[in-house]
Amino acid sequence: MLKGKAVIGQSGGPTSVINSSLAGVIEEALSQEAITAVLGMNYGIEGFMAERFYDLGAQSPEVIKGLRTTPSSALGSSRHKLTDSDFPRILEVLKKYDIRYFFLIGGNDTMDTIHRLEAYCRSEGYELMGVGVPKTVDNDLFGTDFTPGFPSAARSNILNVLQAGVLAKDMKKVDQFVVYQTIGREAGWLAASTAAARRKEGDAPHLIYCPERPLDPEKMLEDARSCIEKYGWVSIVVSEGLLYADGTPVSAAESKDKFNNTEFGAMGGASVALNIHKILSSGLDGARGEFQITESLIMSAFDRAEELDLDLAYRCGKEAVRLAADGTSGVMVTIERQEDGSFSLGSAPLQDVAVRAKAMPDDYINERGNDVTPAFMDYIRPLVSGLPEFVSLEDRYYKEVK
């Protein structure tokens, strides 16, 4: 039995449920005989190299339990790009503290960090069990049916589009269009999820554009014009990573982050929604409208967290520790959908998960590229719980009797 300390960190953007995964890791690690202490990286791998650790075993039971209902990233997050020059320092710290169990909660780049570190330690003859816990609102991790954080963020976006649609419908004599932008650099899962806001013909959103399909401005104008003629207004949802046919970002963003990803939205000082608004304003014969961008506000909104999401995030954290304690390393915990609609846990090799982004399947997007298909609706429905029901006044107008 490999004995030693465990360390856990959080990377990338926060979610509504990432701390639920953290609670799962802590609770399970404290119960394992092989794990002698549980440390928490303060600000991810940067904190690790600076030897800034929380003593998670010294936290009160109330705090550990409370993590399951606390948003954002309790340990403090980081977006440090791991370089080869970092490895000797990381190994030095691992040896100094006798850390043998290494866990990170994060997305594609985080899984790459664990994958490279685990391989480096193996090459240096240092035994380390490295397991990844999935997290990203983008839902673009390979090997898992969905990623913890996505269902809650999906619900938040759905509610936003649902309520913005009610407002836009009532204000259509003033504003004829509304553009809503979601997170989604390379995959349109969150934008697509807003289709669940519809209850009847004419409900928002009318048009959905995902980065898996290039945007044709002329076709979009045709589709928007058709909706306005039919309903008197149009609701359009766009992903932040939307591209034109030549590969140019619709956002016109040019800045890059540390992982060489194009920075869209507020982070990149550019916006798809703003530019779509400009196209509509100039192409719809003077039509008036607005654009809405929530960015990170919806990534970790706990008041909209899904119970399924919170539960599976917690279970993923516990499963990661169990896998490591049983001698499994170099994997990420995954969620698998069963035929009866339930979900179970599995694992996938980090080499199959790291860096790559999982796009939406082609059959989830309609042929015109402006909406989702029934196949996607079958996918999303089990992930989002009941939505509020709103009413509209009946078409019963007063007529004075003479």
8 A C-beta contact, residue 247 and residue 255: no
Residue 268: Cβ within 10 Å count: 19
Q: Which of 31-35, 80-84, 178-182 has the lowest mean pLDDT?
A: 80-84
Cβ-based neighbours of 325, under 8 Å, separated by 6 or more = 32, 34, 35, 101, 129
pLDDT tens string 46-101: 999 999 999 999 999 999 999 999 999 999 998 888 899 999 999 999 999 999 99
Cβ-based neighbours of 295, under 8 Å, separated by 6 or more = 183, 265, 266, 267
Confidence of residue 262 (pLDDT cuts 50, 70, 90): low
> What is the arithmetic mean of pLDDT over 380-385?
98
Model-wide pTM > 0.85: yes
Q: What is the CATH number of the domain that holds 164?
A: 3.40.50.460
246 and 174 part of one domain: yes
157 inside domain? yes
143 inside domain? no
Q: Which two tokens stand for residue 195?
A: 């289709």
121 inside domain? yes
8 A C-beta contact, residue 160 and residue 291: no
Does residue 263 register a pLDDT over 90? Answer: no
232 inside domain? yes
363 and 218 part of one domain: yes
145 inside domain? no
From the list 138, 140, 203, 371, the catalytic residue is 138
42 and 127 part of one domain: yes
310 and 279 part of one domain: no
What letter does residue 196 receive in the DSSP assignment?
A: G
Distance CA 207, CA 220 (A): 9
Helix spans in 177-333 (H): 189-193, 217-231, 265-268, 272-283, 307-325
Q: What is the CA radius of gyration of the chain?
A: 23
Q: Which two tokens stand for residue 241?
A: 């990573």
96 inside domain? yes
255 and 184 part of one domain: yes
197 and 66 part of one domain: no
174 and 128 part of one domain: no
Q: What is the pLDDT of residue 252?
A: 81
| Residue 196 lies in domain | 151-298+359-383
Return the closest-CA partner of residue 67 out of 296, 306, 310: 310
96 and 168 part of one domain: no
Number of structural domains found in the chain? 2
Residue 113: Cβ within 10 Å count: 26
224 and 367 part of one domain: yes
393 inside domain? no
Q: In what order do the strands lie in the sheet with 177-182?
A: 207-209, 234-239, 177-182, 289-293
171 and 121 part of one domain: no
User: Can 311 be counted among the known catalytic residues?
Assistant: no
Distance CA 130, CA 136 (A): 19
Characterise 44 by phi-psi region: left (phi > 0), alpha (psi -120 to 50), beta (else): left
279 inside domain? yes
Distance CA 284, CA 232 (A): 13
205 and 289 part of one domain: yes
363 and 294 part of one domain: yes
Q: What is the CATH number of the domain that holds 81?
A: 3.40.50.450
Q: How far is CA 97 from the centre of its chain?
A: 33
Distance CA 110, CA 80 (A): 10
